[in-house]
Chain A
Amino acid sequence: MWGRDAGLREPYRNFHAWFDQEDPKRLRAKNREAEDLFRLTGITFNVYGRSEAEERLIPFDIIPRIISGSEWAKLSRGIDQRVRAINAFLHDIYHTQEIVKAGRIPKEMIAQNEAFLPHMIGVDVPGGVYTHIVGIDLVRTGPGEFFVLEDNARTPSGVSYMLENRETMLQMFPELFSKNRVQPVQHYPIDLRRSLAACAPKAAGANPTVAVLTPGIYNSAYFEHAFLADQMGVELVEGHDLRVVDGRVAMRTTHGYKAIDVLYRRVDDDFLDPLNFNPESQLGVPGIMDVYRAGGITIANAPGTGISDDKAIYSYMPEIVEFYTGERPLLQNVPTHRCSEPDALAYVLDNLEDLVVKEVHGSGGYGMLIGPTATRKDLAAFRRKLKARPKNYIAQPTLSLSTVPIFAQKGLAPRHVDLRPFVLVSPDGIKITPGGLTRVALKKGSLVVNSSQGGGTKDTWVLEE
């Protein structure tokens, strides 16, 4: 909210004037009201392996995170460029691998990568789109200065919070939206449906049938799966509702089997098809990969996209963007030390106190070390891990993240945030919803924003230019 020189940042001016006149007691009551609203609507996440009582709320903070129109425009150009590059990269590595031939990425980074899916070699995906939905995690370090933390190109989650946070703010503080010109996000589900339909395979008719595939009611993101299917007006299916019938993937309806053209799956690659991948999977559809390769269905996102958001590949993103777009990258990458390289490993071991160390395939903020706040014991443990399996880790410098205020016990207090804008890709183009999911580390000084570790969310405003 405040710039480096402690002055109020322009986009927050209107909001701050409003906030100053508000009674903190009323706001606190509103905060509780928001939580009740979330519970009633069922915006909860399940904790795996717990009883039904364990449906939790992600804490919601009523202070919006505000981004100016011009800053957003600049950011969007960078996201657009990066997403184009990711799709070109995926097409390339599953076809002729020009980037490897050009010597820009070592061959073993692809061939020996767990996220590389040999089943996808030579497959021409419908509409040429690999990543129908992308959620790029960014942090802001200064005016117009964003770093990409992670390119979530598999099945990014959290978009329901973007929509419900806005809905909640609209219900609680309608007056704020008449005073601030906030760009709307509500059209996302319709955009998503259009975007998915535009990627339908040749086998589809004029009005493609879209469905959302969920692992089921006990999955932690089940609410979001149901929410998106509901908002798009499409069926929410599970693996046992589907089977291959006459060369198409079809769902069991009350009146027989009906073919699906586009499947927005929220099931990981490994569980998608017990015949082709994990044979133990109950969540997928036996034979769906064969239908897919024959052009009978669109799977969104395409299988095998994990290779592009892998943390080891991440360090090559500047090269990847340049190679495919012929442009200089507009978004910055956090400088990344690949511990698989001996020089890098030596540097990391020497400077562990100043670095963040992450597992190459880790997610959810688990299995990472934050040097500056780690205990001596943690540091020693990570030194051993790094020496034992260097390939498993990357390290990055800690960034001086900008903060935004939350509504804490004693009024406004600064906390670290990240931002996940949601991007839709179709043959018609790339569409970025103005806003996204802002996650906030509620603990003072903390850098971990994951909801599984005490993070919360905020509404994200992008103002009209």
Chain B
Amino acid sequence: MLGKTANGLYWMYRYMERAENAARLIETGQRIALTRLNQTDKEWASVLRSGDCLQGYTATHDEMSRDLAVDWMLRSKDNPSSVVSSINAARLNARLVRTAITGEVWEAVNSAYMTLKKALGRKVSERELPSVLRLIRHHAALVRGVTHGTMLRNEIYDFARLGTFLERADNTARILDVKYYVLLPSARSVGSSIDNVQWESILRSVSARGGFRMEYGAGGGPREIADFLILDKRMPRSLAFCAGELSTNLGFLAKGGDVGQASRNKVRALENGLLSKSIDDIFRHGLHEFLQTTLKDLTAISRQIEEEFRFYA
């Protein structure tokens, strides 16, 4: 397989995942804004930070508002992580790797691009927002579905999975880090309705609300939420789950050769770090510090993969 193709697959799936995550973050932000329990401006700033696009926003905007923040995350071509930018990049990469993906996967990506180009062609009003966000999630789900249902389980698939789970782990870690203060033990005693909304929003932004309720019923506080999103291997957006997937797919790629061993070792270190800790250990050593280290590790793993599998040269 060509290094260029591995690169294209990896980024195509990273960008698809990113578009979906952005839609989910906007949805969460909108919900919190509607509850009016909080200072909206501050809330949108934290949504933008979770989406890793606050810097770009403040550099180009003088004020913080719902409309501008949503537009920046959804439609701005100046924001490389906006839904529009991500879908464009995903499709560009899909065209590059057209020979590696099945016709059905290509059609799903192309159809996502065509539909969303139309839906996001002009400003999305508050009223249309829910249906547009649903459309984004549906298209992302479609791509994931045909990928699962039509692609051979070979190295092509492995690179697709690496892209998906690196992006997802990065996203989950970022969301937790932006909100880490509401999960700290000191905040637990407060237990105000504001905190409840914040906890809820964390769960929503990683589509974990249903799963969490199924597991903990009406109970469960910040400690359990953190445990669920960091260490629970059953939760498909948790850090432990993502690390496990990365480790599995790198295991296939590195089988019987030298190429891939360094990436695999880095992912194993991340995975073992997660498996050997309890959530209380993590809180004891500092949640913020832990998440910062994890984000750095993910970046290093991505670099190692790009280099080891000759993405560029």
Contacts and interface: CB of A to CB of B under 8 A. Distances in A.
B3 A252 contact: yes
Interface in A250-277: 251-256
B313 interface: yes
Contacts of A256: 259, 310
A251 B6 CA distance: 13
Contact of A42 (B95, B155, B259): B95
Contacts of B310: 252-254, 256
Contacts of A52: 88, 92
B3 to A, nearest CB: 5
B261 interface: no
A380 B192 CA distance: 88
B139 to A, nearest CB: 13
A253 B95 contact: no
Interface residues of A, number: 24
Contacts of A254: 1-3, 6, 155, 253, 259, 309-310
Nearest to B93: A217
B114 A39 contact: yes
B99 A241 contact: no
Contacts of B6: 254
A217 B94 CA distance: 11
Given A40-B114, A52-B88, A241-B2, A252 B313 contact: yes
A41 interface: yes
Interface string A227-253: 101100011111011000000000111
Contacts, number: 64
A154 B81 CA distance: 43
A253 B257 CA distance: 14
Given A254-B155, A254-B309, A230 B114 contact: no
A255 B103 CA distance: 26
Contacts of B5: 235
Contacts of A230: 98-99, 103
B164 interface: no
A147 interface: no
A222 interface: yes
A390 B254 CA distance: 64
A197 interface: no
Nearest to B111: A40
A226 interface: yes
B18 to A, nearest CB: 19
A237 B1 CA distance: 11
Contacts of B165: none
A42 B309 contact: no
Contacts of A252: 2-4, 310, 313
A403 to B, nearest CB: 35
Interface in B1-47: 1-6
Contact of A253 (B3, B92, B253): B3
B115 to A, nearest CB: 10
Contacts of B110: 39-42
B99 A235 contact: yes
B107 interface: yes
A40 B94 CA distance: 13
A230 B98 CA distance: 7
A240 B311 CA distance: 11
Tell which of B4, B103, B253, B309 has the most Cβ of chain A within 10 Å.
B4
A226 B309 CA distance: 22
Contacts of B95: 42, 217, 222, 226
Nearest to A37: B107
Task: Indicate the member of B103, B107, B111, B310 with the most A CB atoms within 10 Å.
Answer: B310
B133 interface: no
A275 B92 CA distance: 31
Nearest to A237: B2
B22 to A, nearest CB: 20
Nearest to A233: B99
Contact of B92 (A39, A217, A235, A255): A217
Contacts of B1: 253-255
B185 to A, nearest CB: 45
Interface in A207-227: 217, 222, 226-227
B2 A251 contact: yes
B259 A255 contact: yes
Contacts of B155: 254
B3 A236 contact: no
B106 interface: yes
B262 interface: no
Interface in B99-137: 99, 103, 106-107, 110-111, 114
A268 B103 CA distance: 29
Nearest to A238: B4
A234 B253 CA distance: 20
A85 to B, nearest CB: 35
Contacts of B111: 40
A41 B313 CA distance: 31
Nearest to A255: B259
A236 B98 contact: yes
Contact of A226 (B2, B99, B114, B257): B99
A250 to B, nearest CB: 11
A255 B107 contact: no
Given A252-B310, A252-B313, A254-B309, A241 B98 contact: no
A33 to B, nearest CB: 15
Nearest to B94: A42
B252 to A, nearest CB: 12
Contacts of A240: 4
Contacts of A226: 95, 98-99
11 contacts: A39-B110, A40-B107, A41-B103, A52-B92, A229-B99, A240-B4, A241-B2, A241-B4, A253-B1, A255-B1, A255-B259
Given A42-B110, A217-B95, A226-B95, 4 more contacts: A227-B98, A230-B103, A237-B2, A254-B3
Interface of B: 1-6, 88, 92, 95-96, 98-99, 103, 106-107, 110-111, 114, 155, 253, 257, 259, 309-310, 313
